[in-house]
């Protein structure tokens, strides 16, 4: 087992952080000790997570083991996707061009805007009353 290759990548999105390990295998997903279907219930999130494998045509060639914390389901899928893409870079085989062209190597820098004083949320104002 010591000679078996393990590729690692870290992904972040919003407040979620995913530590991803890829091992050559059959396409098994284990996220925080649970399967992909159990962890992310919605199918659209599954396709979002699998995007790096589809772009590099490596579906069912790696087993994914991930630890994710922070954020919600959308942020966690984005973090997992970036972590998988970075781990695939470490796996080599010249996946960089395909991943870069698909935009999978860039961190999505959008964050929640902070709440301002005098407002109800970041931009929502109290109702204006003329009198």
CA distance 11 to 45: 16
pLDDT at 94: 83
Question: pLDDT confidence of 53, banded at 50, 70, 90?
Answer: very high
Domain segments of the chain as ranges: 7-101
pTM, two decimals, is 0.88
Topology classification of domain 7-101: Ribosomal Protein S5; domain 2 (3.30.230)
pLDDT at 3 exceeding the cut of 80: no
Sign of CA dihedral 121, 123, 124, 128: positive
Tens-place pLDDT, residues 67-96: 999 999 999 999 999 999 999 998 877 889
Tens-place pLDDT, residues 15-48: 999 999 999 999 899 999 999 999 998 899 999 9
98 phi and psi angles, rounded to 5 deg: -70, -45
């Amino acid at each position: 087992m010591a000679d078996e290759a393990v590729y690692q990548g870290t992904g972040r999105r919003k407040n979620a952080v995913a530590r991803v390990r890829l091992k050559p295998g059959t396409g098994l997903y284990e996220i925080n000790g649970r399967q992909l279907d159990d962890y992310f219930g919605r199918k659209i999130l599954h396709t979002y997570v699998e995007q790096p494998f589809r772009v590099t045509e490596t579906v069912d060639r790696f087993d994914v083991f991930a630890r994710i914390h922070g954020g919600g389901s959308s942020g966690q899928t984005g973090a997992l996707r970036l972590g998988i893409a970075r781990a695939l870079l470490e796996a080599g085989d010249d996946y960089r061009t395909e991943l870069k062209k698909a935009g999978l190597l860039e961190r999505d820098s959008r964050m929640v805007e902070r709440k301002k004083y005098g407002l109800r949320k970041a931009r929502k104002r109290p109702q204006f009353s003329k009198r």
